[in-house]
Chains A and B, each alone.
Chain A
Amino acid sequence: MQFGIFTVGDVTPDPTTGRTPTERERIKAMVAIALKAEEVGLDVFATGEHHNPPFVPSSPTTMLGYVAARTERLILSTSTTLITTNDPVKIAEDFAMLQHLADGRVDLMMGRGNTGPVYPWFGKDIREGINLAVENYNLLHRLWREDVVNWEGKFRTPLQGFTSTPRPLDGVAPFVWHGSIRSPEIAEQAAYYGDGFFHNNIFWPADHTKRMIELYRARYAHYGHGTPEQAIVGLGGQVFMRRNSQDAVREFRPYFDEAPVYGHGPSLEDFTAQTPLTVGSPQQVIEKTLAFRDYAGDYQRQLFLMDHAGLPLKTVLEQLDLLGEEVVPVLREEFAKNRPANVPDAPTHASLLAARKDAPVQQAEEEEGARA
């Protein structure tokens, strides 16, 4: 199972000091956080993509390329890449380029984006959000798998004899996750392609997440990619830890109360009771995270949101120390217990490459079987 962090990339004033970091400080902090993730033994760093203040990460592959050069093991991903408003041709090129530079340590998560004006800013119509995701991803999928693409669709100019360069590393497309909080259509899309499905999980009650994942698992099996238990599931989580849980609550409360998404709304106590947010000791984080399996089944990737709402870099790095040293090792051990042998790990470049090398043999056998 993979563990990592995902960042929104918000520039938010620290409510305890009133100070707002500069964009440069925030961008550098995101990089420091990514490097720290590798240092403390995490597997994945994923950045959001936004095209409006107060967010900085408009150019994810630029940042991930920089992080790639300074890390050895970390898988670089997104949370999410906007499949609606980006040109799928540019996504195909950017991430194939990143794959080569990062020696295959790349996957990405498709999302539609929920900021209304971003669609018209990029010449798109938000009411076509699902259709854009469907058509654009279909093209992206082909661009990585077919050397020469002739294509015509509704939302972008046709392609005749187009080759996306560079070709994916070793001819293996980056693994794709599809992220959605509330759209069953996207769970269906992930299932159709046999791709991963990621539920952000952090702002909504667990029963909602459960229904989305159950749908994805059932449809994954329907499309013949494996059993429902073999579908590739990722979940978000959100934690703030101190050794003493009362200290965690006291320190995090002003950040919670002023947070961009849920600030000035429910109490910290209500929100932790109703959603996966955990504010407390490492042991409490371990217990709550292990319970995700009760409604999501055995899953492949757990990402935590650690660096939002104006938390200072120093605090975030301390959080990552706790996460890497005290939480994730226990989670790895506990999640491995009673995990059925036929539940796969999240695909990586190495595993996809190995699977492809096996495939021609399998295909030949099938053809032989058909002839016999």
Chain B
Amino acid sequence: MKLVVVSAGLSVPSSTRLLGDRLAAVAAPAATAPEPAPADVQVIELRDLAVQIAHTFTNGFPAPALADAFAEVAAADGLIVVTPVFSASYSGLFKSFFDALSVTDEYALTGKPVLIAATGGTGRHSLVLDHAPPRSNALARGDPHRPLFAYLKAVVVPTGVYAASEDWGAEGLDARIGRAGTELAALMAGLSGSSTVRRPPRRDSFEEVTPFEQRLAALSVPGPSPAP
């Protein structure tokens, strides 16, 4: 069982990374229980890949380290994705990682359990994971996280975790981490190996090419004429 944490934290040390680690510490052993060995945890720090992420947009293909990160994500049984809140939404770097991933591998997150988490300076952003502020408050409106991962066909864990600066010194964060981590673990255990929700066979992959006669037949076009 493999758990991947994607952290868009920028400072070192980073509270975003810290939140990701705390969630992984709950989910990794719970996902494999009662087996004694916890799920393997891999952490992807987007800061280290920031330039390669940008180059994916200018080049059209991911550079080697980023391609490795995409492969890790695609192979994961579960994901924890954590970002700081910037301008009332996930950070641009965080969104860009998933944009570049979906361009490279459209089905990378299909059917994959994803735990969404975010950090911010103030509790006023705490609904950022799930809700856009009402339209009347358009200036403060950001994109919530849940629809992004729904669009990518992930199975989003019911509990998202938002941690403001003050939460690190208050009661309650531990319980939310525990609940969210346990929910992720249950989905990982439940969905692992399930063929029904995993990625569909890719149309026109290298492994499964549609025979050309089928393409012609679909257009009601007869095959090529014999050589003259």
Whole-angstrom CA separation of A205 from B218 in the bound complex? 33
Which residue of chain A has the shortest Cβ distance to B222 in the bound complex? A138
Stretch of B21-29, B106-114, B163-171, B205-213 with 4 or more beta carbons under 8 angstroms from chain A: B205-213
Stretch of B57-65, B68-76, B126-134, B150-158 with 4 or more beta carbons under 8 angstroms from chain A: B57-65
Enumerate B213-228 residues with CB–CB distance to A below 8 Å. Answer: 213, 215-216, 218-222, 224-225, 227-228
Does B35 have its Cβ within 8 Å of any Cβ on chain A?
no
B210 contacts which chain A residues (CB < 8 A)?
Answer: 185, 188
B212 contacts which chain A residues (CB < 8 A)?
Answer: 134, 188-189, 191-192, 223
Does A117 have its Cβ within 8 Å of any Cβ on chain B?
no
Which residue of chain B has the shortest Cβ distance to A266 in the bound complex? B55
A185 contacts which chain B residues (CB < 8 A)?
Answer: 204, 209-210, 215
Which residue of chain B has the shortest Cβ distance to A359 in the bound complex? B227
Looking at the assembled complex, report how far the CB atom of A244 sits from the nearest CB atom of chain B, in whole angstroms: 28
Task: Given A138-B216, A183-B204, A185-B204, check contact A203 B225 (CB 8 Å).
Answer: no
Interface pair B55/A135, CB less than 8 Å apart: no
A134 contacts which chain B residues (CB < 8 A)?
Answer: 212, 215-216, 219, 221
Whole-angstrom CA separation of A322 from B148 in the bound complex? 52
- Contact check: which of B55, B60, B64, B225 meets A146 at CB < 8 Å? B225
Looking at the assembled complex, report how far the CB atom of B179 sits from the nearest CB atom of chain A, in whole angstroms: 43
Task: Given A208-B61, A270-B63, A274-B63, check contact A145 B228 (CB 8 Å).
Answer: yes
Q: Using an 8 Å CB-CB cutoff, how does the interface string of A134-145 with B read, 1 for contact, 0 for none?
A: 110011011001
Enumerate B59-93 residues with CB–CB distance to A below 8 Å. Answer: 59-61, 63-64
Which residue of chain B has the shortest Cβ distance to A168 in the bound complex? B228
Task: Given A185-B209, A188-B210, A219-B209, check contact A262 B59 (CB 8 Å).
Answer: yes
Whole-angstrom CA separation of A263 from B59 in the bound complex? 9
Q: Using an 8 Å CB-CB cutoff, how does the interface string of A179-215 with B read, 1 for contact, 0 for none?
A: 0000111011101110000000001110010011011
Whole-angstrom CA separation of A189 from B55 in the bound complex? 32
B213 contacts which chain A residues (CB < 8 A)?
Answer: 192
Interface secondary structure of B, over-half rule:
loop
Interface pair B206/A135, CB less than 8 Å apart: no
Q: How many A-B residue pairs have CB under 8 A?
A: 88
- Contact check: which of B61, B204, B219, B221 meets A184 at CB < 8 Å? B204
Residue among B205, B225, B228 with the highest chain A CB neighbour number at 10 A? B228
Interface pair A215/B60, CB less than 8 Å apart: no
Looking at the assembled complex, report how far the CB atom of B19 sits from the nearest CB atom of chain A, in whole angstroms: 32
Enumerate A143-196 residues with CB–CB distance to B below 8 Å. Answer: 145-146, 153-154, 171, 183-185, 187-189, 191-193
Interface pair B219/A204, CB less than 8 Å apart: no
Does A356 have its Cβ within 8 Å of any Cβ on chain B?
yes
- Contact check: which of A145, A205, A223, A262 meets B225 at CB < 8 Å? A145
B64 contacts which chain A residues (CB < 8 A)?
Answer: 274
Whole-angstrom CA separation of A134 from B214 in the bound complex? 11
Interface pair A138/B221, CB less than 8 Å apart: yes
Whole-angstrom CA separation of A188 from B211 in the bound complex? 7
Enumerate B176-228 residues with CB–CB distance to A below 8 Å. Answer: 204-206, 209-213, 215-216, 218-222, 224-225, 227-228
- Contact check: which of A145, A215, A264 meets B227 at CB < 8 Å? A145
Whole-angstrom CA separation of A356 from B228 in the bound complex? 8
- Residue numbers of B with Cβ under 8 A of A are 54-55, 58-61, 63-64, 204-206, 209-213, 215-216, 218-222, 224-225, 227-228
Beyond the given A184-B206, A188-B215, A266-B63, could you list 12 further A-B residue pairs with CB under 8 A, ordered by the A residue number? A138-B224, A145-B224, A153-B221, A185-B204, A193-B224, A203-B59, A204-B61, A211-B206, A215-B209, A262-B58, A262-B59, A264-B58
A-B contact pairs, 29 of them (CB 8 A): A134-B212, A135-B219, A138-B221, A138-B222, A142-B225, A145-B228, A184-B204, A184-B205, A184-B206, A185-B210, A188-B210, A188-B211, A188-B212, A188-B215, A189-B212, A189-B215, A203-B59, A204-B60, A219-B209, A223-B212, A263-B58, A265-B55, A266-B55, A270-B63, A274-B63, A274-B64, A356-B227, A356-B228, A359-B227
